[in-house]
Chain A
Amino acid sequence: MKDEFDFEGYTCPVPIKPNDTVVLGHGSGGRLSHDLINRLFLPELGKAAPRALDDSAIVNINGQRLALTTDSHVVSPLFFPGGDIGRLAICGTVNDLAMVGAKPIALTCGFVIEEGLSFEILQRVVQSMRDSAAEAGVYIAAGDTKVVQKGGADKLFINTAGIGFVESTINISGANARVDDVIIISGTLGDHGIAVMSAREGLNFETDLKSDVAPLNHLIAAMIQAGEIHVLRDPTRGGLATTLNEIAIQSNLTVELQETALPVKPQVHAACEMLGFDPLYVANEGKLVAFVKAEDAEKILSVMHQTRYGEEAVIIGKVVQTKNPHVRLRTAIGGTRLIDMLPGEMLPRIC
């Protein structure tokens, strides 16, 4: 080694051009998904109202407020601990309706099936949809089937769309957070994402963890009776971190979380340490985050505790006013860190 090492003249990588191709990360629910929506879908298809970024749209028809939403479901494997694509397809749309305060009424379902799928598998999926719809109290009003060539789809994709009624007094939106609002999560973080990963080929780890996939409309109906709710969201793909960032942007306020208050099962904590994930970014399918009026928080919480899917509900943070809207976390050891959206696809890392 020479005595004086010369670093002069070394520079850094060329900027890469913006993506001209859709990559998996565009469907991850994180920042890339947002870029796609803002760059392509909203300018071409939507009038960019804040509502367009909520889980459901609300349309007025002859004085009646109807919530309307759609969701396509792709998951590998089709069956995973605690659930399957059928239950996911029903709960996803029921929850999207419920998150704007709607009472879900009816769903449609569209199947895209890869040829070669066995009737037995399809039947199990459909029975699971039937049971989940019964649990949520919705009916399936219409359906459609398409079959594609081998390789044209991965076994089975399901799209569901749904409608629900919204009472005239209800005003729940990601844009409605207020300073001092208390933030409640209905249960533990990341159960679904880690349960699905444990069943996925390649990662190969064993755990008794189950997906939390569940319909949350009954829980929400009880919460609405109990107190004043400003925001409701289900932190699905992209996890709680992405959802809270969306709300912070929509409401132009800052969200402050307490790390010690975040409920995480030991298995999820361990799997995240192992793979280099953060539970804040792992998907949930049966959890909601609520921003509620501070005075009503305890009442809402106690009502949640009496329901099946809200037993483990806890307060995780509050809304504060700062110069720039963001999400931050007070760490267990007393530090602070910024919580960003999921940047792209979540991948196991070695570093």
Chain B
Amino acid sequence: MCLSIPGKITEVYEDGSLIMGKVDFGGVLKEVCLDYVPEAQTGQYVLIHVGFAISVLDEDEAMARMDLLREIESFEEELNPDEIR
């Protein structure tokens, strides 16, 4: 359920009582509601579902996990270099 994709906030503004903003999905700009992520700032990545940001992506967590995964990868390469590619 729930198609939700990450985009980068390029603009934050108020529209009536709602915090709105523009989000860049790799070359496509869309207006979204940022009311559920009031702490989010320009430059941060948010998950968007039906025009609403539901989560600010945690860059540190993402980087840490990626590093861990890369470690597994290079470890496996050392173990059996022939099998990889």
Contact = CB atoms under 8 A, between A and B. Distances in A.
Contact between A and B in the complex (any CB pair below 8 Å): yes
Interface of A: 198, 204-209, 265-267, 269-271, 273-274, 276, 349-351
B30 A205 contact: yes
Nearest to B31: A204
A349 B49 CA distance: 10
B27 A207 contact: yes
A206 B28 contact: yes
Given A350-B2, A351-B1, A270 B26 contact: yes
B49 A270 contact: no
Nearest to B1: A351
B13 interface: no
Contacts of A276: 3
Contacts of A206: 28-30
Contacts of B3: 276, 349-351
Give the 5 A-B residue pairs with the shortest CB-CB distance, closest first.
A267-B27, A270-B26, A206-B29, A270-B25, A270-B28
Interface of B: 1-3, 5, 25-31, 48-50
A271 B25 contact: yes
Given A204-B31, A350-B49, A350-B50, A269 B2 contact: no
A167 B28 CA distance: 45
Contacts, number: 44
A204 B30 CA distance: 7
A276 B3 CA distance: 7
A274 B1 CA distance: 14
A267 B50 CA distance: 19
Given A266-B26, A267-B27, A270-B25, 6 more contacts: A198-B28, A266-B27, A267-B26, A274-B5, A351-B1, A351-B3
B30 A269 contact: no
B54 to A, nearest CB: 12
B10 to A, nearest CB: 11
Contact of B29 (A205, A269, A350): A205
Contacts of B30: 204-206, 274
Contacts of A207: 27-29
A199 to B, nearest CB: 13
9 contacts: A208-B27, A209-B27, A266-B26, A266-B27, A267-B26, A270-B25, A270-B27, A350-B3, A350-B49
Contacts of A269: 26
B5 A273 contact: yes
Contacts of A208: 27
Contacts of B29: 205-207
B18 to A, nearest CB: 16
B31 to A, nearest CB: 7
Contacts of B50: 350
A208 B31 CA distance: 16
A264 to B, nearest CB: 11
Nearest to B3: A276
Contacts of B31: 204
Listed residue (A206, A209, A266, A274) with the most chain B CB atoms within 10 angstroms of its CB: A274
B29 to A, nearest CB: 4
Contacts of A350: 1-3, 49-50
A265 B25 CA distance: 13
Contacts of B28: 198, 205-207, 267, 270-271, 274
B27 to A, nearest CB: 4
A267 B30 CA distance: 12
Nearest to B26: A270
Nearest to A274: B25
A276 B5 CA distance: 10
A197 to B, nearest CB: 10
A351 B2 contact: yes
A209 B25 CA distance: 13
A276 to B, nearest CB: 5
B28 to A, nearest CB: 4
A318 B24 CA distance: 36
A273 B1 CA distance: 14
A206 B27 CA distance: 8
